[in-house]
Structure 1
Amino acid sequence: MNATAAPAVFAPWTEPDAVPLIHLNGVTKEFGSFTAIDNIELEIFPREFFALLGPSGCGKTTIMRMLAGFEDPTRGTITIDGKNMAGVPANKRAVNMMFQSYALFPHLTVADNLAFGLKRSPMPKSEIKGRVDEMLRLVQLTKFASRKPHQLSGGQRQRVALARALAKAPKLLLLDEPLGALDKKLRQQTQFELMDIQEKTGTTFVIVTHDQEEAMTVASRIAVMDEGRIKQVATPDRIYESPNSVYVADFIGDVNIIEGSVSLVDGEKAELQWTEGARPIRAMSGQGISTSDKAAFVVRPEKVAIATTEPTDMHNRVQGTVEDIAYLGNMSTYHVRLADGTLVKAQAANNRRISRRGITWYDTVWLSWSDTAGLILPN
């Protein structure tokens, strides 16, 4: 019996010899006295699906506009495919951009929308129809070639816009909130279609989004931004499991945050003194914490167990009262108020019918978590 080789892991950022497609070196962008981008260093590699994630006004769209050539850095350099982009206009870059509005021509058919940019490119006219047909197959819209945009659904228009952006085979495709106009279910379906198309074409995608779930789903790596700075760049699992700051932990997904002071640091382990008379919280040590520092313990609700009896085998255990329950179908989130007023959330899978569950409002319960479930981070 022949053993099947494991698929190669895509992680060029871990390879010392890998050459990035995009390099932002000390890039700052100022609009008058306002600093939109503050001395950013960033590398994005070929074939990556890279996400710029952050709240409105954090600078992610400004980075995209500088990559596209619509804005110039105030200081620093942007390199794409080894070439300094200083002075290179947008139409001379191997970059295309897909806007949230899709910007399709309403009077043109789907096929003509795809051909529009190709007719103004150096591509021989004899090759344009073949390229249009190839793009229609890629986005599974061949039978809609003769329709006009108003005859398509939102998801189909999104795919036409994507095909048009990819038709000229750019080395870099910029996507500005590309799924923002779609309803939640279609948005989730389209995320996987985007990933499949990106993998098939091998084009480097950079997506701007404020939707954490979207970034976690599609991206090979995520840059979490705030106030013009990059807080952390890592794979989705590392961003979620090992955030480097309370800001990142709080921005990505749901999290409990308990503030206190560091009472012990021992290698990868640490303890946090958080309220008078309570045993210290044991957790993993985040970077840059020292004894007596102000810090915060962060733990995801799904890593917190809830029970009606005291789990004496767990060091991290606290008692409280159920204040609220959010029923989410496959799971429930319990909001538990501790004696000192701290609110802690715990999640439990709904593997029983509602009538058979043992915890309800105003019950006294115990919450517990392992010593490796959370992190103590600088605050």
Structure 2
Amino acid sequence: MSNNTPFAPWNDEAAVPLIQFDGVSKKYGDFLAIDNIDLKIYPREFFALLGPSGCGKTTLMRMLAGFEEASAGKITIDNKDMAGIPPNKRAVNMMFQSYALFPHLNVVDNLAFGLKRSRMAKSEIDGRVEEMLRLVQLQKFAKRKPHQLSGGQRQRVALARALAKAPKLLLLDEPLGALDKKLREETQFELMDIQEKTGTTFVIVTHDQEEAMTVASRIAVMDHGKLVQIDTPDRVYENPNSIYVAGFIGDVNIIEGRVSHLAGEEAQLCWAEGTSDIRGMAGPKIQKGEEAAFAVRPEKVALSVQEPIERNNRVAGRVEDIAYLGNMSTYYVRLENGNLIKSQVANDRRISRRSVTWNDQVWLSWSDTAGIVLPSGGNPS
């Protein structure tokens, strides 16, 4: 594959998936944890399962690992039906949030543990361990025990151990959850770099939207055992297929109304008496005359003292609150009809010099393509 060719096997009909779910469901008694899921994950993907607690993402991963059996449907890995195949017979490894390192073994012995239980020759084991140490840049810490390492270093040991046997698929269950914010952000890029170097398919379970957006080639957003949307991070963010996805990924303003006009990719929303209709992109399955909601990201909403007459989408309001976040500020603006709209503005000047403050009358505006009109309610059918 040339460097100029984007990695997108999911758009290639001839591409063969490494993982395939066909009509997979999982029940625990009367509780339906996974609801009739179809999914394809391709070799070399960094695939994220994203959703709130209890949405089914960990159950889905445990079925891939072999710790749970599907109640219905079929799971294949590398074209092999996984029904009845135990975890140790799958070309899969799993890295747990707890890391599960052996406290009495040093880094080298932790890495070698799984290899020694395989039929690999000792000379090969030594070479593989050295290779893994280089991969995660821990050569200087080879003789240390886990308690002598930082959280980030323990995380890298666990990752190296999981990769040592060269699995075709690595499952990562909230792998960065125990790290502080700054270290977690640094480690995300290390994970991406290691995944690219090894060519291993990674599937990560996370409830952290930023983490999924940073590392994944594609994201599957889950809710109540269903896959709500599967797409690239930019499309999940810019083109959510439901109010649920729009609200779950990042920050968003939601304005409810009724579709007054629909033409191709354009839609208009009638939303408040005495105001102009909002113009936006037409989302999936909206119909003229039906209730709908307009979703627009705060960073796409401009804030100004003067009325921006050149824009169709413009509303007046009063600054009710300001959240200072260092690199940006979020302005909470109360409109005359009671709606509260957020506008995110980059702090390109000192806070003492900003021109807008609490209780100021301001205008909010956005372009005709900044937001999207989506069906009212939660998930698409």
Structure 1 partner of 2:25: 28
Counterpart of 1:177 in structure 2 is 174
Partner of 1:144: 141
1:347 equivalent to 2:340? Answer no
Alignment-derived partner of residue 260 in structure 1: 257
Aligned to 1:214: 211
Aligned to 1:290: 287
Matched, 1:194 2:202: no
Q: Where do residues 1-379 of structure 1 align in structure 2 (5 Å cutoff)?
A: 7-379=4-376
Unaligned runs of 5+ in 2: 377-381
Detail structure 1 runs of 4+ shifted over 4 Å in the superposition: none
Please report how far the alpha carbon of residue 8 of structure 1 lies from its aligned counterpart in structure 2 after TM superposition: 2.3
Structure 1 residue 7: Cα displacement: 2.7
* In 1, Cα distance between equivalents of 2:229 and 2:190: 27
Q: Tell me the alpha carbon deviations over residues 69-107 of structure 1, each in whole angstroms, 9 at most, x when there is no partner.
A: 000000000000000000111100000000000000000
* CA drift at 1:125: 2.4
SS in structure 1 at match of 2:359: coil
TM-score by length of 1: 0.98
Q: Which amino acid letter does the alignment assign opposite residue 77 of structure 1?
A: K
Q: Which has the higher mean CA deviation after the structures are superposed, 52-61 or 326-335?
A: 326-335
Amino acid at match of 2:264: G
Matched AA of 1:324: D
* 1:315-363 per-position Cα deviation (integer Å, ceiling 9, x unaligned): 1100000000011111111000001110000011111111211000000
Give 1:10 shift: 0.6
> Using the alignment, how far apart are the partners of 2:67 and 2:349 within structure 1?
55
Residue 379 of structure 2: aligned partner:
none
Q: For residue 267 of structure 1, what is the amino acid of its counterpart?
A: G
The Cα RMSD (Å) is 0.7
Matches of 2:355 and 2:262, distance apart in 1:
38
Distance 2:350 2:162 in 1: 48
Q: Would the alpha carbon gap of residues 99 and 6 (structure 1) be closer, same or farther in structure 2, given more than 3 Å must change? A: closer
> How many Å separate the matches in 2 of 1:148 and 1:26?
45
Question: How high is the TM-score relative to the length of structure 2?
Answer: 0.98
Matched residues in 2 for 1:377 and 1:365: separation?
27
CA distance in 1, matches of 2:258, 2:5: 43
Distance of aligned partners of 1:348 and 1:223 in 2 relative to their CA distance in 1, 3 Å threshold: same
SS of the equivalent of 1:345 reads strand
Deviation at 1:6, TM superposition (A): 5.3
3-state SS, counterpart of residue 60 of structure 2: helix
